[in-house]
Amino acid sequence: MRFSPRDTSHRLSNHALAKGLLFNLLSSLLVMSGFGLITDVAVGADLFDKHDFSLVKQAASELSPVARISMQDASKLKPLSATISTPCLIVKTSEGNFAKMLVSWGFRKHGEDRLPVLLIERFVTYRGDRPDMTAATGKDVLLFAGFEFDFDIGQVVPAKAGGDISFSAESVLEAVPPAALFTLSKSLVSSEGTSTAPGGASNGQGFAGEWIVNADDRWNGEWSLKVDGEGRILGKFVSAESQNAYDITGNVSGLPHQARLEIFLANTQVSVEAYLWSNTQNDMAGVVTVAGRKFGFFARRAQADRAAPQTKAEKQESALGKGAGDK
């Protein structure tokens, strides 16, 4: 079948139009994501998440580097906790940054063959020159044999192109000098200053602990708060999207279930007025103010006791449900 020049021009025009529409759609999605309109649902942080810049750097300074890790070696590595099934590795990159990752070894079918792959399930690279700021984050990255991974930019790169780790056809993971590789089989997270059970309402200690926060579906993540004997609050906010950590300061107000916080983001400041549920103390809600605009937020304790007493509303809802079932 042959096409006339007119037919070809028409088809090319339609093809260009389709490409333009697709580009506009993707651009819109990227813009929405950049402004926080598309966000992941905040989930409870595990021990991997809790190892921040200071702990990752501490691990790199205290542990002995390993040159290579085979699949057999990896099977003997102990995960950080019972809820994490894969080993945690630390990398000091060629640019002096520090990264953490969860990895697993496997194979990918290719025709009749099986290709060895390394799955980087999650990784976070912290900037060595600015603590608690990330250089790159990502998840579910497949590293095939013969390629390297550059943690400073968070990308798979060809061999000898500046990567920090390499993966071989023998399923061996190796550090690429001057980068260094470490295995972290024991948690460095301290439980000091955390609170997971109700209590301490009289002096505002109910605010202490770790909280999963959703602020207008824009500033989502986790707050880690400590409260001293005078009601002063210090803590960190870890963004669910970027994994950057930001300082929190504040104090418990006149009412023991009310607090005011200030969160210092990279380019703005967030003021928070928070009210703690006075019964179970596993929830709080209130208002955040950013650039003079007010937004709602709610938070739930990350490790809330599932056996905690029901609130009055929950009891009423449960009673109504039972009554409906009786009918």
Which element (helix H / strand E) includes 261? strand 258-264
* Spatial distance between the Cα atoms of 319 and 166, rounded to a whole number of angstroms: 59
Number of CB atoms found within 10 A of residue 291's CB: 7
Buried b (16+ CB within 10 A) or exposed e, 140-149: ebebeeebbb
Question: For residue 44, how many other CB atoms are within 10 A of its CB?
Answer: 15
Of 126, 117, 144, 37, residue with least CA distance to 90 = 126
Q: What local confidence, expressed as pLDDT, does residue 114 receive?
A: 85
Quick one: pLDDT at residue 47?
Answer: 87
Per residue in 31-80, pLDDT tens?
333 333 333 333 456 889 889 898 999 999 999 999 999 988 988 888 88
- In this prediction, the residues of the chain whose per-residue pLDDT falls under 50 are 1-13, 15-43, 192-202, 305-309, 322, 324-327
**Res 310: pLDDT:** 53
Q: Give the model's pLDDT for residue 155.
A: 97
Q: What is the pLDDT of residues 115-132, one digit of tens each?
A: 999 999 999 999 988 876
**What's the CA gap between 41 and 28, in Å, rounded?**
20
Place of tokens 């579910």: 140
Nearest-Å Rg of the Cα atoms of the chain is 25
- Interatomic CA distance for residues 313 and 327, integer angstroms: 21
pTM (global) more than 0.85: no
**Distances, alpha carbon 122 to alpha carbons 24, 42, 125, 137, 208, in Å:** 30, 16, 10, 8, 28
How high does pLDDT run on average in the chain? 79
In this prediction, residue 314 carries a pLDDT of 53
Q: Which domains does the chain have, with CATH numbers?
A: 53-184 (no CATH), 205-307 (2.40.128.120)
Q: What local confidence, expressed as pLDDT, does residue 44 receive?
A: 52
Task: Check residue 42 and report its DSSP letter.
Answer: P
> Regarding beta strands 155-158 and 165-167, do their DSSP bridges make them parallel or antiparallel, or are they unpaired?
unpaired
Write b or e for each residue in 158-194: b if 16 or more Cβ atoms lie within 10 A of its Cβ, otherwise e. eeeebbbbbbeeebbbbbbeebbbbbbeebbeeeeee
CB atoms within 10 A of CB 103: 22
Pairwise CA distance, residues 254 & 120, whole Å = 48
Q: Residue 254: its pLDDT value, please?
A: 59
**Residue 196: its H or E element:** none
